[in-house]
Amino acid sequence: MNKLLKTLCGFDIFILNNIKRNDFVLYFSLFLLIAFLSFISIFQAVHEILDNTFEAILIAVFFTLFIINFFRLIFSSLNRGDQNFESGTNFQKLSPHLIKFFSLFILAIMIAYPLEIMIFKNQINSHLQSYKSEIVKEYSRTLENIESENIEEMIMAYEEEKQLLILINEPEKIRDFKEIEEEIELIEIQKNRNISLYKKVVVKSTFFAQKINILNENIPLSFLFTILMIALFYSPLLLLLLNDKFIEYFNLKNKINRRIVENKYSEFIELRDRLFVESTGNKITISTKFSDPPFNLTPITSKIKNLKKGSLIEWLNTNNSN
């Protein structure tokens, strides 16, 4: 388990092996569930758009690894164990991580929609068929209007040509109206072909974006699934920040990190002083404003008392009155 937590979740295996209690099974289970649902969701979305299983698998693997590493990054940036954190309210503990929560919110919604399309497939298809029928009808009406305009222009042109030939006494040059009828018939055949081709394209298309729109407008129950997905994506972060079972891990992590920083700082001070002596022949003395370098969290309190403006006059007036 510790090796899986290290490899997949980014936990420090040395710390895991040295804490008395290991309560990371729930975190690991949530982590795996998020990774699994992310892969299924991304695969479903890409497969609907590209209609290529191999490419869908590759893209799903890539973005699933991205989400896994995003959670690893979030975990590596978390910190618990300091007095200010543990003594704060839940809101105070969570407020520094608002950007993380916002990022997880966006990811959760993106992952939720393809899964909702799979879950509510039957309800979506009924609305989608109506939508497809409507856009085919709209396309047919558009073509019919264009066809009517073209036919009307052809007939008007024929009539004008006919009137002109009569006026110039050349009625023998008047075309047979059957030619116009044949052209009209060809236009009608082409229109039907275009409608048939368009209908085939519409039937074959998945309309992925329209399915999401149908979810939002016609299936209110999908919002419940979205909320559950957001809660799932939030749960690992909330678990680490609010559950005291994980404090032992963070305490040891902070202790190790502090020791590393202190050791490196001591080595730096020693090297700095030695190099200064070698360069100038004198020892260096650098004053600091903090009592806990290199962390610099506790400023040194000055023993010099700063008096306010007018305090000297007030003191003189007080002493003269005595």
Domain ranges of the chain: 2-120+219-256, 123-206
- Six-digit token string for 44: 């479903």
What is the model's pLDDT at position 321? 55
For the cut 80, the answer to whether the pLDDT of residue 66 exceeds it is: yes
Average pLDDT, the chain: 83
Confidence tier at 42 by pLDDT (50, 70, 90) = very high
> What is the residue type of 314?
E
For the cut 80, the answer to whether the pLDDT of residue 320 exceeds it is: no
What is the model's pLDDT at position 167? 76
Residue with more model confidence, 294 or 107: 107
C-alpha–C-alpha distance, residues 256 and 16, integer Å: 13
Q: What is the pTM of this model?
A: 0.74
Residue with more model confidence, 52 or 281: 52
Say how many residues make up the chain.
322
Most confident of 12-21, 196-205, 245-254: 196-205
Confidence tier at 255 by pLDDT (50, 70, 90) = confident
* DSSP state letter for 5: I
Lowest mean pLDDT among 45-49, 235-239, 309-313: 309-313
Most confident of 80-84, 92-96, 107-111, 181-185: 107-111
What is the model's pLDDT at position 206? 85
What is the model's pLDDT at position 87? 57
C-alpha–C-alpha distance, residues 65 and 182, integer Å: 62
Most confident of 183-192, 220-229, 261-270: 220-229
For the cut 90, the answer to whether the pLDDT of residue 64 exceeds it is: yes
What is the model's pLDDT at position 310? 65
Do the beta carbons of residue 63 and residue 38 sit within 8 Å? yes
What is the model's pLDDT at position 44? 92
> What is the residue type of 182?
E
C-alpha–C-alpha distance, residues 41 and 61, integer Å: 11
Confidence tier at 65 by pLDDT (50, 70, 90) = very high
Lowest mean pLDDT among 34-43, 77-86, 136-145, 203-212: 77-86
What is the model's pLDDT at position 54? 93
CA quadruple 105, 111, 115, 120: dihedral positive or negative? positive
For every residue of 263-322, DSSP letters joined together read HHHHHHHHHHHHHHHHHHSS------SBSSTTT--SBPPP-SPPPPTTHHHHHHHHHHH-
SS3 9: helix
Do the beta carbons of residue 34 and residue 21 sit within 8 Å? no
What is the mean predicted confidence (pLDDT) over 82-110? 76
What is the model's pLDDT at position 305? 67
128-175 confidence digits (pLDDT tens): 999 999 999 999 999 888 888 888 888 888 788 778 777 777 777 777
